[in-house]
Amino acid sequence: MAPRTKACAVCRKRRIKCDATLPQCLMCIRTGKECPGPIDGPLIIDMTKFAMHKSKKKTERNPKARQISLDTISEPINPAYCMHSERLLDTPLKLCTQVSQAATVTEAFYANFLSYFASTGERIDLQNRQTWLHQLPFLSSDGSNHALTLALRATANVYCGVEASNTAVVQEGYRLYGEALKAHSIKLTRHARLKEKGEAEITVHMISTSLMLSLFELLRATTADAYREHVYGAAKMLEATGPGQCLHGVLCQLFYHIRTQMAFVYLTSQKGLRERLKVRKIMQETLQYGRWPLFQRLISHVAELAEVYVKNGDVREGKEQMIDLTRYGRLKADVEALWLEYENTAEERGERLEWRNEHGEKVFRDGFTALSVAYFSTARILFEVLAPRFAATFLDMTDHYQNILDCATYLCALRIGCAYIRMATPLYLVALHSPREEQRRKAKDVFMEWKDGTMAGVSVIALEAIGKRVGEMM
């Protein structure tokens, strides 16, 4: 190739010598032409046409190469090869589809998280076929609430990111969490304006959004107050929901989850709710329960005891009575009646609630039975803490603190995620009020073990509350 010239385009076209001066060359000034100036930047010359033509001619001039080409063409062609070539030509070209990372993470979330949080035996007591988590794929993909979709994606990213030790996925979850909060806030503000006109209704999607945001806080806590506000907001929305939103028992499951979490919020935050939840209205009007599930009745008593516990923030074992005799007698009788009903129901079915295996370890009928037993022990511990003198009059040889630790051990072995959320309340009481140092240490060790897993948020909230309460009780 000839060396590059700096001549202007006019001189180069006329094939005359150019002095390449600025702003106009001398030859353009003499001839009265408008000089574009010397060429600056890369100069690209297209020689492909000449190169291909030259190469083609060279091949044709070579008689040996021409002979080889003719011999190849004269050979017989395999018919099978022709048929295969025709099929390839008839087949439309298909481009590889790139799978979205968001879809992959969400699918992994559904595949692992839902089974991780579904405890066997739960639907028998709650009279539902599926948990509310199993309805999430349909609720989040029907296009009616973008905030729920974002909240689900945020929770899925954090859960899968922690499981895979992928920091980038976790950070993406935090970003989506911020977007979900913004979208949920806009949705609630718009609903408040429409409610004044009587044109709005709280939907199951809005309640599910608040609960998904609370689950995010349990996975990776931002602040303890954020978790508390999400749970309380979901409870108040559920209170304002009509029966038309039940959606095959989804609201029942949402309410059950909310009530177990509100007990934990009561105890760890040491703050009463701004307004008491209208449980009876929700159960009878919204959920239309004719007969309350046994666990819901038990949680009602635990919530009432937890409310008394919070009002007496300086609770110390054996100091004074925090509850009057009439209230104590009523609650104690109701809890023991529920336990008797629970045992009789299992006996009628020919089932045992718990037993010891060959290694001496306590085994339960199923995961939900272990949770129920733990909450019965929780109620009895609260009786001892709030009314030590009254509790001493009832002969009870069961070590309820150890009973809760056995339930936690059983559930952790089963890898049931609901143990991390629902067992937090019983373990919190063991860590604070067990008379044995070994049991208190074991309860704290369980929270420390959870801190390194997917449910780190709940353990952070519990450990901070335990540290604060221990300092106040000393």
Convert the pLDDT of each residue in 213-247 to its tens digit.
988 888 887 776 788 888 888 888 877 777 666 65
Distance between CA atoms of residues 116 and 108, nearest Å:
12
Residue 9 phi, psi (nearest 5): -65, -35
For residues 188 and 69, the model is more confident at 188
Confidence of residue 249 (pLDDT cuts 50, 70, 90): low
- pLDDT at residue number 178: 93
Cα 370 off chain centre by: 24
Q: Per-residue pLDDT for 275 more than 90?
A: no
Mutual angle of helices 204-219 and 167-196, in 10-degree steps: 150
Q: Are 174 and 162 in contact (CB under 8 A)?
A: no
Asked if residue 426 has pLDDT above 90, the reply is: yes
Query: Comparing 32-41, 148-157, 355-364, 377-386, which segment has the lowest mean pLDDT?
Result: 32-41
The 10s digit of each residue's pLDDT in 117-138 is 555 555 555 555 556 666 777 7
CB atoms within 10 A of CB 221: 17
* Residues shown for the chain: 474
Mean pLDDT within 428-434: 93
Per-residue pLDDT, 332: 92
pLDDT at 103: 67
pLDDT tens-digit profile of 11-23? 888 878 887 777 7
Question: Is 90 exceeded by the pLDDT of residue 434?
Answer: yes
Answering whether pTM is above 0.75, one says no
Q: What is the pLDDT of residue 375?
A: 94
Tokens in use for 7?
């001549």
How crowded is residue 463: how many other Cβ atoms within 10 Å of its Cβ? 18
Would you state the pLDDT for residue 31?
A: 79
How many Cβ atoms are within 10 Å of 391's Cβ, its own excluded?
17
Distance (Å, whole) CA 33 – CA 31:
6
pLDDT in the model for residue 158: 86
Lowest mean pLDDT among 280-284, 301-305, 373-377, 466-470: 280-284
